Amino acid sequence: MTPEALMGGFTAPPQHSSRAFRAALTALSRPGTIVTVEGGHGPAPLSPAAAILALTLLDGTTPVHLAGGHDAPALRDWLAFHTGAPVVGAEGAAFAIGTWAALQPIPRFAIGTAEYPDRAATLIIEMPALTATGPRLSGPGIDGTAQLSLPEAAAFRANRALFPLGFDCFLTCGSHLAGLPRSTIVEDI
């Protein structure tokens, strides 16, 4: 086990975990809304927001895939120590963490089944920037329209076409996160 595995986590677990869970719910229920989170961190290259999502949403029964540079011994050990989440290949993952490029090809992640659409993967996409600019978003949870800096629009339009199947996403950058559920309609401006 690496020394980084013992570092990080929540600084005040009861308060920070409940605030983080509320922030995650807000982000997914209001697509395009950028939420700031605080109180936890993990080893590089994990952003504080992605670390907080991992601490909040992962446990020993939640298989996670680490893509690209995120598949590092320090991060594997940190996840094992703080969440107990098993690291798996993309096909068996309930969650996947990485940059958009590292997560490709996206169709390898579970999209659920007609009987169990909830068995889809949730992607935590590490972004270089996260702003309220870019493709237009509409649908459930959005009053009118919103905008969000997505890594591309086509993949999210294709994902919406699969609804009620498809993957859900959190986009993270620094201490900021936004949610993009499969029900969101994505249009180029």
Structure tokens at 102: 């590292």
Domain hosting residue 134, numbered range = 3-187
Residue 12 pLDDT grade (very low, low, confident, very high; cuts 50, 70, 90): confident
| Residue 84 to residue 37: CA distance in whole angstroms | 22
Looking at residue 29, its pLDDT comes to 97
Q: What is the pLDDT of residues 109-153, one digit of tens each?
A: 999 999 999 999 999 999 999 999 999 999 999 999 999 999 999
Structure tokens at 161: 């076409």
Q: What three-state secondary structure class fits 54?
A: helix
| Residue 56 to residue 122: CA distance in whole angstroms | 13
| Residue 101 to residue 126: CA distance in whole angstroms | 10
Question: Is residue 2 pLDDT above 80, yes or no?
Answer: no
Q: What is the pLDDT of residues 36-89, one digit of tens each?
A: 999 999 999 999 999 999 999 999 999 999 999 999 999 999 999 999 999 999
Provide the domain count of the chain.
Answer: 1
Q: Would you call the peptide bond into 43 cis, given omega within 30 degrees of 0 as the criterion?
A: no
| Residue 135 to residue 169: CA distance in whole angstroms | 15
Q: Would you call the peptide bond into 164 cis, given omega within 30 degrees of 0 as the criterion?
A: yes
Q: Are strands 40-41 and 9-10 parallel, antiparallel or unpaired?
A: antiparallel
Its sign, for the CA torsion 108, 46, 184, 92, is positive
Please report, for the domain that includes residue 126, its CATH number: 3.40.50.11310
Question: Is residue 181 pLDDT above 90, yes or no?
Answer: yes
Looking at residue 6, its pLDDT comes to 78
Residues 6+ apart with CB under 8 A from 58: 64, 79, 83, 84, 85, 95
Torsion-angle region of 91 (φ positive above 0: left; ψ -120 to 50: alpha; else: beta): alpha
Question: Is residue 14 pLDDT above 80, yes or no?
Answer: yes
